[in-house]
Structure 1
Amino acid sequence: MEKTDFIKLLKPDEQSYLNRVISNVNDHVVRISIMTAPYPWHYHPDSDETFIGIEGTVIIETRDELIELTPGTVVTIPKGVAHCTRPKDKHSRNLTVEYANLQTIYVDNNNH
């Protein structure tokens, strides 16, 4: 058993996107993400992706909707659904839960 203090990871740094595994759960991982810039359109053909808002607002855009994930809220993007993420303001922080070996397919934002 390993205890992780993920609060220490909540400090923004020079990177525009930090996505780090903080825990393993069976065949899934829990990641912490810190965003200061958009992440490109993509989808995961083999895993749902659950987002949990921690700080700031994460904008999650799919072909059909725009979701504002605020602190204390959660949303699951089903496998196969193309999406992109970005902070609404200067930065955002969230947790994600997903299959540890998920595949990520990047798509052109005009063909999502």
Structure 2
Amino acid sequence: MKSINIKQKLNAFKDHWHPHQIAVVDDMQILLAKIKDEFVWHLHESEDELFQVLKGTLYMQFRNKTVEVKEGEIIVVPKGIEHCPATRNGEEVHLMLIEKLSTSHTGNVRDTLTKTHYPKI
């Protein structure tokens, strides 16, 4: 057991839209990600997702509204809800995600941004 320095872990990678695993808690994984611009519209049929904004502002788009999630805030996207994370004005946003190990990166969609492996850092 040891502490995990989130700032150091975030400094260990630069890629946008490529989460990195920093811990596993039972059947849940803790991921860090850097995002910029718009992701892929998708949904997760069997898993909820938690997004915590560590830096910047996340715009979680849903088909009927967009929720602004500011630094220090979280949003939970329930299973089965189509969503598309985004940033605005070229801002790089840093996130912590908590999700089941079985959660597919882009859910029910395959795209050039889809990752099938999250590096452990």
User: TM-score with structure 1 length normalisation?
Assistant: 0.83
CA RMSD of aligned residues (A): 2.2
Q: Deviations over 1:38-76 (max 9, x none)?
A: 211111111100111110001110112201111111110
Gaps of 5+ in 2: 111-121
Q: What is the aligned length? A: 108
Quick check: 2:16–2:33 contact (8 Å CA) kept in 1?
A: no
Q: Which has the larger strand fraction?
A: 1
Identity %: 21
Secondary structure of the 1:106 match is: coil
SS of 1:75 mapped into structure 2: strand
The answer to whether the 8 A contact 1:12-1:34 is kept is no
> Conserved in 2, the CA contact under 8 Å of 1:24 and 1:30?
yes
- Residue ranges of structure 1 left out of the alignment (5+ in a row): 108-112
The aligned residue for residue 91 of structure 1 is 92
Q: Could you say if the C-alpha distance between residues 3 and 13 of structure 1 is closer, same or farther in structure 2, counting changes exceeding 3 Å?
A: closer
